[in-house]
Structure 1
């Protein structure tokens, strides 16, 4: 595992002009130095999921997949082929479910096929000692009065709602083009527990997108895997985010336990072993040769109250 220096490269990421949080400045700089391709298709889909919720994990991770739908046909064909061959009964891929033999057999072909996706997979890992990344005391007094939430959110859950909707809006701001249709899909969880909660999250996504994107859209929408029509389209794409988030949380936890923390300036050699599924998925995350570009950003505590933001490479 090593930290890659930021080099000037050709990228389609548009610089964020009004970062809403200080740490966004560094994330924006990281994304501007990634070799990201143009995604000009008229329809954009985003998919998100989370990892690290169990108490043994030192990190909470959020993964957001951004893709150009109209130019993803090779992936869609191969995705269905993998399903027909390994998962003809419609089983859902997931990090927690990889004790299933059929899913284990499908994992590598599924991940390899996904590398043809014209898109970006962003994984944001936040050390659990970092509290209120988005809903801090500095932010609350300036929260717009017309953005009052209707759902009764717990502080922890509202922080997560802000975090994931902000990441989705940030990616739309950095990658989208004028006139596109943009739809964000998530797994069914506590952020989408009922119509009121879903409406709040949708409003947050629209708010963040309007701040970060300086152009109009044909349409912006939000949905969950509940709308899957049986071909596992939504579920397979959310599964890619789930696999990335789960394996990243496991990998970072093991590295931090070994080194004491994730180093911000030096590379380390890890002599231990990851679980088989984490080894496979993180190897896929580290592969940079496909159309799907993968970026992992880690927020690591530094000093008594601060934290660092870095791009992890391995």
Structure 2
């Protein structure tokens, strides 16, 4: 599905290492949900990040209860998002929102890449010009990245016979019924080609499908917050001439925003039922191949370390 098949294989191996062998474990649910969002498409951004929250709906009753209590006591009907954290009410609610998110059983994967990475998907099923012509040219690459990374991750974390519900924010990639129909086709093909087992029903929707509980909004917000923070961190480091180095702890630059620091502290948690993985894709040296790296965030004063590396020729 990716530009090079081996890049996709290396990505999934590294993801398994970060999440833990055999994850997720135990009894599985009937429906697997992936909530996706991305950040860094604005002018001047040095990186683009894509976040995918993947959970079994049937195994997260504790989070659903906590989410309803959070909504009644804190934000009410306000939407949580990275960009909206300039609002004082949302800033005050962020620690509680992140603490509530720790109750989820599942996986949170953030993929970050330089803005000039180039096309991620080459000659992929369901990604022909005829399928993509409904989107503006500037949107197509982000659509394909989100659909194919999300499809691979969803297939990788699924089990035979599960129904799949893939949701994204209602933005430029799924702003109307026609776009949503074609997005369903692209994601369905990716999931099918990325798995050796059969699935139940596939549904692709947006946060507009929320039933009024803001459950889908909040699940998508976790992806949104994570993508925004990682994009800010990597961009701030690049502006300071810094880059994560293998087994070297690097303090975050002073220019990293306070909201990103708080989210990075949350992302650094290791002992949680919500496993986290931050993975960077970038071109290899001298343009030869690609590099797949995992990035570990540490809570100690917001430090960052890159513990492992995969180079693909």
Residues 1-314 of structure 1 aligned to structure 2 (within 5 Å): 21-33=5-17, 34-35=19-20, 36-38=23-25, 40-88=28-76, 90-134=77-121, 139-140=122-123, 148-149=130-131, 151-263=133-245, 265-270=246-251, 272-273=253-254, 274-306=256-288, 307-314=290-297
CA distance in 2 between counterparts of 1:133 and 1:151 reads 18
Contact 2:24 2:157 in 1 (8 A): no
Residues 84 and 173 of structure 1: CA distance in aligned 2, closer, same or farther (over 3 Å)? same
Where do 4+ consecutive residues of structure 1 move more than 6 Å? 144-147
CA distance in 2 between counterparts of 1:118 and 1:27 reads 22
CA distance in 2 between counterparts of 1:147 and 1:54 reads 24
Superposition CA RMSD, Å? 2.3
Shifted more, 195-204 versus 284-293: the winner is 195-204
The number of equivalent residue pairs is 291
CA distance in 2 between counterparts of 1:100 and 1:114 reads 20
Contact 1:256 1:262 in 2 (8 A): no
Give 1:271 deviation, angstroms.
Answer: 5.8
Residues 262 and 193 of structure 1: CA distance in aligned 2, closer, same or farther (over 3 Å)? same
Give 1:200 deviation, angstroms.
Answer: 1.5
CA distance in 2 between counterparts of 1:267 and 1:251 reads 16
The higher relative CO (CA closer than 8 Å, separation ≥ 6) is in 1
CA distance in 1 between counterparts of 2:55 and 2:171 reads 22
Give 1:37 deviation, angstroms.
Answer: 2.5
CA distance in 2 between counterparts of 1:133 and 1:165 reads 11
Contact 2:84 2:90 in 1 (8 A): yes
Residues 92 and 195 of structure 1: CA distance in aligned 2, closer, same or farther (over 3 Å)? same
Residues 20 and 217 of structure 1: CA distance in aligned 2, closer, same or farther (over 3 Å)? farther
CA distance in 2 between counterparts of 1:209 and 1:241 reads 20
SS of the counterpart of 1:248?
helix
Gap regions ≥5 residues in structure 1: 1-15
SS of the counterpart of 2:91?
helix
Residues 271 and 212 of structure 1: CA distance in aligned 2, closer, same or farther (over 3 Å)? closer
CA distance in 2 between counterparts of 1:146 and 1:277 reads 39
Gap regions ≥5 residues in structure 2: 298-313
Length-normalised TM-score, structure 1? 0.86
Residues 143 and 184 of structure 1: CA distance in aligned 2, closer, same or farther (over 3 Å)? closer
Give 1:150 deviation, angstroms.
Answer: 6.2
**What CA deviation, in whole Å up to 9, does each residue of 1:213-244 have, x standing for no partner?**
22222211100011212110111110000000
Give 1:147 deviation, angstroms.
Answer: 8.9
Contact 2:147 2:187 in 1 (8 A): yes
Residues 172 and 27 of structure 1: CA distance in aligned 2, closer, same or farther (over 3 Å)? same
CA distance in 2 between counterparts of 1:19 and 1:42 reads 32
